[in-house]
Amino acid sequence: MSRIVPYVVALLSVSANASAQASATHDPGTRVFRLDGGNTSYVFGVNPRGELQQLYWGGRLAATDHVPPAVPMREMASFDSSYTTTPQEYAGWGAGLFVEPALKVTFADGNRDLVLHYESHTATADGFDVVLDEIQREISVTLHYTIDPESGILARSATIENREAEPVTLEQAAAAAWALPPAPYTLSYLTGRWAGEWTLTQETVRPGARVLESRRGSTGHQANPWFAIQAGAPDEDHGEVWFGALAWSGSWRITVEQDQLDAVRVTGGFNPFDFGYVLHPGERLETPVFYGGYSAHGLGGASRLLHRYQLEHVLPRREGPGPGAVPKPRPVIYNSWEATYFDVTEAGQMALAEKAAALGVDRFVMDDGWFGQRRNDRAGLGDWYVNPEKFPNGLEPLIDAVHSLGMDFGLWVEPEMVNPDSDLYREHPDWVLNFPGRPRSEGRNQLVLNLARADVRDHVLEVLDGLLKENDIAFLKWDYNRNWSEPGWDQLPPREQKRVYVDFPRNVYGILKELRRRHPGVEIESCSGGGGRVDLGILEYVDEVWPSDNTDPFDRLTQQDGFTYAYTPQVMMAWVTESPHWLNRRTTSLAYRMLSAMQGSLGIGANITRWTAEETALAARLIRAYHEVQATIVQGDLYRLISPRNGSAFSATQTVSRDRSQSVVFVFIHSTQEGRGFPRLKLKGLDPAADYTLVPIEGKARTGTPPVASGAWWMNRGLEMDQGFRGDFQGGAFRLDRSER
């Protein structure tokens, strides 16, 4: 049933940027497939053995270039089988494969040998679907490829289908594998812990494997499903970078391997640890999407492509005409958590709301503590009714007050969890992840509802739907405060129970999608004790994320720096909270805290009823200034000018609006050592021929700095800070507006 499409040269799409075009071509003579988009080409072919082999991934080739047909690697020795050293697009575990397989299965008769060969392909709207068949058994894999015309970012995934008469168990199923030829490379990835997420970790790629993963049932704080591999040493502005991000909010794994011939491959998808998905005859399993991209402009270039792609292709609520539409900048929020913790009352929240409105806040969010018997974290999760002692008349009076103050209203929920001390658990003790008869490990005094179950999923959906129907709620902060333990699903036969790793996250997506459909105005934040569930899977369904419970403004600079390697500042919520900070007792000025949070989507989370008139006026002025330039900050091209990492005494970022009409610069001194002044900042990304007016938002430039100068001046001569800009934990911000000559 081979369907060979004749020679196809498809012009896929033309993006907002008229010069960016994508094409997908297949040459039946050489059996070579080629995808071009942005500054990237991706090429693979069918080799004489029938395997799909990667041929090229990198800078865009000329349309006139013809890539030679795929030839498998020679067998160097019997120990280096060609099947292992040939970079396959999607290798089955079989025929002597010693590197990471994309797919590993056990057939009903015990056979575990799986060899996948090209069968057919179809051209799709923006790429190819390529079908691989097992050489004997009735199992097939369809590889999906699309390429974005502007960024050249590829979206790859696989659909595995069982056409055997018996069930097949999938023990490992990747979304895609990416290959790079031998060269010295540096790997960058993001690691962390609760209150310490987003540490950029960098190391030379060495022989063997570096495994990035979560075994926790959700994305995790400890590692994030993103990687970047740079040829040579890490560099923000120069050099080739290949990067990828997995769109999956369940247990995931990305393996970066350097094989015995020094070639590198990156395989990612469902985490094979404790995996075992039984595919019944006629059933299919779709993997998550593994995005991959290439930049010739260092790690900065790579993150700018990713940010743009997320804004234009991943996040919900993109608005505007045609291609290039992006979501609106986020409202400036107030959140009550650090001000009141569980001690929420109608009067207390109203007092905070009044003050928030005076600051110019757009959205008032009531955090944990408003429902069930929630006096602390030992009770109440699962009982999503308004606590009658705290809110005798329901939420309506508070919501009305918030509206009359000119703000909209948001609410905290944690729908996937239950406290054993709750009505829900007393009624449905069987609804949680568990192995019958075994202990149920608690985290923060709570258990995880088994959302893979249809009845539990439906219950959670209906409860949230009811809450949104009964109350005028514009926003949900959706929290998730522990990882899985004892992940049993005892309603299924024992060998099917591991489906939970696929069905649970898919049902979370399903609920989010359905809620958005029923309540199109509602916006959602993904929070998991801070940044424990941030990935390109959840970002299809939520408008923003909570990057960390650590709101210390100095720690946040490093976290925000790390975060932006993988994710756009548009989704990066940042609150201004109290000083000294609860986590580390660090004392900082309000201006410094404001500026740190203004690098992302700004929020206020302090007990503002205690703020002095002076503090209130400062915050109100900076919120007004932020609103004016917010779109540039969160949606512009980001340049990390000076990294706060590695004990740096200074840091600076700059964003440039897409049309280069505006730029915003943030500068921070962490500590003035030995009297050193802030370095002169050579700006980036401006139009060299245009004039830009420098407008201070906070702080001063050095005396004698021209108020108006060309982009060339700011990029070559640079911006200098006032000589009085010294001390510990100091900050400044400037905008540059393009002016008519």
Contact string 408-427 vs ligand GLA (x = CB under 6 A): ----x---------------
**Containing H/E element for 630?**
helix 613-635
At its nearest, how many Å lie between ligand GLA and the CB of residue 711? Answer: 40
* Stretch touching ligand GLA by CB under 6 A, among 43-51, 59-67, 154-162, 523-531: 523-531
Q: Which residue is nearest to ligand GLA (CB)?
A: 368
At its nearest, how many Å lie between ligand GLA and the CB of residue 484? Answer: 17
**Among residue numbers 461 through 480, which ones bind ligand GLA (CB under 6 A)?**
479
Nearer to ligand GLA, 225 or 369 (CB): 369
Secondary structure class of 170 (helix, strand, coil): strand
Given the structure tokens 């926003």, which residue do they identify?
475
At its nearest, how many Å lie between ligand GLA and the CB of residue 673? Answer: 34
At its nearest, how many Å lie between ligand GLA and the CB of residue 479? Answer: 5
- Closest to 311 in 3D by CA, of 148, 436, 71: 148
CB-based contact 88:177 (threshold 8 Å): yes
Nearer to ligand GLA, 249 or 481 (CB): 481
- End-to-end, the C-alpha distance of the chain in Å comes to 66
At its nearest, how many Å lie between ligand GLA and the CB of residue 595? Answer: 21
**By CB under 6 A, residue 597 contacts ligand GLA:** no
Nearer to ligand GLA, 299 or 534 (CB): 534
Active-site residue identified among 259, 479, 552, 637: 479
Distances 609 to 334, 355, 360, 517, 672 between C-alpha atoms, Å: 12, 6, 14, 37, 33
Active-site residue identified among 535, 549, 552, 561: 549
Which position among 89, 257, 259, 367 is part of the footprint of ligand GLA (CB under 6 A)?
A: 367
Q: How many residues does the chain have?
A: 741
Which position among 368, 408, 525, 552 is part of the footprint of ligand GLA (CB under 6 A)?
A: 368
Contacts by 649-654, CB closer than 8 A, 24 or more apart: 649/673, 649/676, 650/678, 650/679, 651/557, 651/561, 652/681, 653/561, 653/599, 654/681, 654/683, 654/684, 654/685
Secondary structure class of 219 (helix, strand, coil): coil
Nearer to ligand GLA, 556 or 738 (CB): 556
The token pair at 315 is 């996040």
**Among residue numbers 333 through 352, which ones bind ligand GLA (CB under 6 A)?**
337
Given the structure tokens 């009505």, which residue do they identify?
423
The token pair at 507 is 């049902």
The token pair at 90 is 């999607």
> What is the 3-state composition of the chain as percent helix, strand, coil, each rounded to the nearest 5?
20, 35, 45
d(CA 715, CA 469): 53
Nearer to ligand GLA, 573 or 681 (CB): 573
Give residue 19's identity as a one-letter amino acid code.
Answer: S
d(CA 546, CA 527): 5
Is 442 exposed, middle or buried (CB count within 10 Å of its CB: 0-12, 13-18, 19+)?
A: middle
Which position among 157, 219, 287, 481 is part of the footprint of ligand GLA (CB under 6 A)?
A: 481
Nearer to ligand GLA, 26 or 477 (CB): 477
The token pair at 224 is 């994030």
Secondary structure class of 156 (helix, strand, coil): strand
DSSP 42-62: EEEEE-TTS-EEEEEEEEPPP
Nearer to ligand GLA, 366 or 502 (CB): 366
At its nearest, how many Å lie between ligand GLA and the CB of residue 261? Answer: 46
The token pair at 125 is 């709207």
Nearer to ligand GLA, 148 or 549 (CB): 549
Nearer to ligand GLA, 479 or 535 (CB): 479
* Stretch touching ligand GLA by CB under 6 A, among 113-121, 177-185, 511-519, 522-530: 522-530
- In which order are the strands placed within the sheet that holds 650-656? 637-642, 650-656, 662-669, 730-739, 691-698, 708-710
At its nearest, how many Å lie between ligand GLA and the CB of residue 297? Answer: 35
* Stretch touching ligand GLA by CB under 6 A, among 54-62, 89-97, 133-141, 527-535: 527-535
Known catalytic residue at 549: yes
At its nearest, how many Å lie between ligand GLA and the CB of residue 481? Answer: 5
CB-based contact 507:451 (threshold 8 Å): yes
* Stretch touching ligand GLA by CB under 6 A, among 306-314, 315-323, 525-533, 610-618: 525-533
Nearer to ligand GLA, 118 or 371 (CB): 371
Q: Quick one: DSSP state of residue 196? A: -
d(CA 153, CA 35): 10
Nearer to ligand GLA, 603 or 711 (CB): 603
Which position among 524, 527, 538, 634 is part of the footprint of ligand GLA (CB under 6 A)?
A: 527
Known catalytic residue at 383: no
CB-based contact 295:241 (threshold 8 Å): yes
At its nearest, how many Å lie between ligand GLA and the CB of residue 549? Answer: 5
At its nearest, how many Å lie between ligand GLA and the CB of residue 598? Answer: 19
Contact string 529-548 vs ligand GLA (x = CB under 6 A): xx---------------x--
d(CA 233, CA 630): 33
* Stretch touching ligand GLA by CB under 6 A, among 250-258, 355-363, 524-532, 702-710: 524-532
Q: Quick one: DSSP state of residue 565? A: H
CA angle 665, 667, 672 (to 5 degrees): 165
Query: Total residues contacting ligand GLA (rule CB under 6 A)?
Result: 11
At its nearest, how many Å lie between ligand GLA and the CB of residue 337? Answer: 5
Residues interacting with ligand GLA, by CB under 6 A? 337, 367-368, 412, 479, 481, 527, 529-530, 546, 549
Which active-site residues does the annotation give? 479, 549
